[in-house]
Structure 1
Amino acid sequence: MPWEKSFNEQNAIEDAMNIFWEKGYEATSISNLIEGTGVNRGSLYNAFGGKRQLFTQSLLKYDVQTRRKFLAELEALDNPVLAFKTLFNTLVQQAQSGAQPRGCFLVNTSIEIATHDKETKDIVIQAFTEFEAFFRRGIEVAKARSEMPSNIDAAATATVLFSLVVAIRVLGRGAFDQLSLQVIADQAQHLVSQQV
């Protein structure tokens, strides 16, 4: 009789994602995953191959349902100035919600990137590249509509804006309070403020 799964794979990946997001890859044990997902060791290995593969699937799931979804919603506003303002204000609010802010799973993973395999590195780099491209496209659209100064260097400014996203995500985990994070958010918006 063939082996049949007695659990929902997507639910298990979701549970694992939250564990990895909270603890990081290195600090997460197989025991943590078994306890957190409710899937026994044999089934976990049969379904996913191991901790590394489950981590990769968890990171991809986070990327799809968090970063990609959020940026798609912002682009759908068809107003880059509003989209950027909404993005930075949302990041500040997210950093201050909950007793122990977890930051961004992708950013957290990038901090320990040296310990990860090529597949994980590629996921993080691709996500960051797409995030930066979101800013670059928005700046180009706003410049074409005379909603941002024409002398803004779209590529360089996009890199700086993304760097400020990372700063809020990292510092928002407890090093900075809301007021300090809002200063970063305000400066990000100031970089592309209308001076046309």
Structure 2
Amino acid sequence: MGRVKEFVREEALRSAMKTFWSKGYEGTSIPDLMQNMGISRSSLYETFGDKQSLLNEAAKYYSRLVGEKRRSILANAKTVKQGLTDYFRYHMEVALEENWPGGCLITNLSIYHDYLDDETKKLIEESMETLEEAFYHFLEKGKENGELTSALDSRKTARLLLTINHGINVVTRVKGDSCHLEDISESILHLLT
């Protein structure tokens, strides 16, 4: 009879996510993961596979944990102004949360895009495409209900919001200043509404 795994899989995955988020893929070692996840080397490999497979699972977990909430804010917004305010407020809360490493796991990983395997690259690209589409549909809804001018190019503006979104993640890693980020949020609203 095999040994019973003495850890909760989701808690271990959450710890792995935070480790990759904080240190990046290259900066994260197997001993780092074992220590932070509270599991043995054999449990890590038996449960999650190799380091690359664990990174991919951690990135998917992050997308479910954080990405779905962000997209639901946009999808359920009553107004453009409220949607953008709520979205970027939540975005900044996550980026500055003391219990998180800062910024965004997807943004942090994208910096090392060339060094990642094809599956991880695809996960990053899909995450960005999904968020761009969420912004696009949000803006189209704002045009349909008359809050935004019909002349607004929703595709180009969605790409701008995506870029701002990931730029905020980089800024929070360096500055970690909520006042600075609130200025960005206000500027976004001023540009669009």
Q: What TM-score, normalized by structure 2, do the two folds share?
A: 0.90
- Residue range with higher mean Cα deviation, 30-39 or 181-190: 181-190
Q: Indicate how the Cα distance of structure 1 residues 19 and 99 shifts in structure 2: closer, same or farther if over 3 A, else same.
A: closer
Q: Is the 8 A contact 2:56 2:120 kept in 1?
A: yes
Native 8 Å contact 1:59 1:106 kept in 2? yes
CA distance in 1, matches of 2:134, 2:80: 10
Query: Structure 1 residue 46 and structure 2 residue 46: aligned?
Result: yes
**1:149 Cα deviation from its structure 2 partner:** 1.2
The equivalent of 2:148 in structure 1 is 148
Gaps of at least 5 residues in structure 1 are none
Task: Give the alignment of 1:47-196 within 5 angstroms.
Answer: 47-98=47-98, 102-175=102-175, 177-193=177-193
Distance 2:124 2:136 in 1: 18
Letter in 2 for 1:72: S
Q: How many Å separate the matches in 2 of 1:164 and 1:31? A: 35
Output the CA distance in 1 between the equivalents of 2:176 and 2:44. Answer: 38
TM-score by length of structure 1 reads 0.89
Q: Which amino acid aligns with 1:49?
A: G
The AA in structure 2 aligned to 1:76 is: N
Q: Give the distance between the partners of 2:42 and 2:92, measured in 1 at CA.
A: 41
Aligned partners of 1:76, 1:158: CA distance in 2, in Å? 17
Which stretch shows the higher mean deviation, 71-80 or 96-105?
Answer: 96-105
Name the one with the larger helix percent.
Answer: 2
Could you tell me the percent identity over the aligned residues?
30
Shift of 1:110: 0.7
Instruction: Write out per-residue CA displacement over residues 87-130 of structure 1, whole angstroms, 9 at most, x where no aligned residue.
Output: 12333444444398511111111111111011111111111111
> Does the Cα contact within 8 Å between 1:16 and 1:58 map onto a contact in 2?
yes
Structure 1 CA distance, aligned partners of 2:161 and 2:86?
A: 13
Q: What's the Cα RMSD here?
A: 2.0
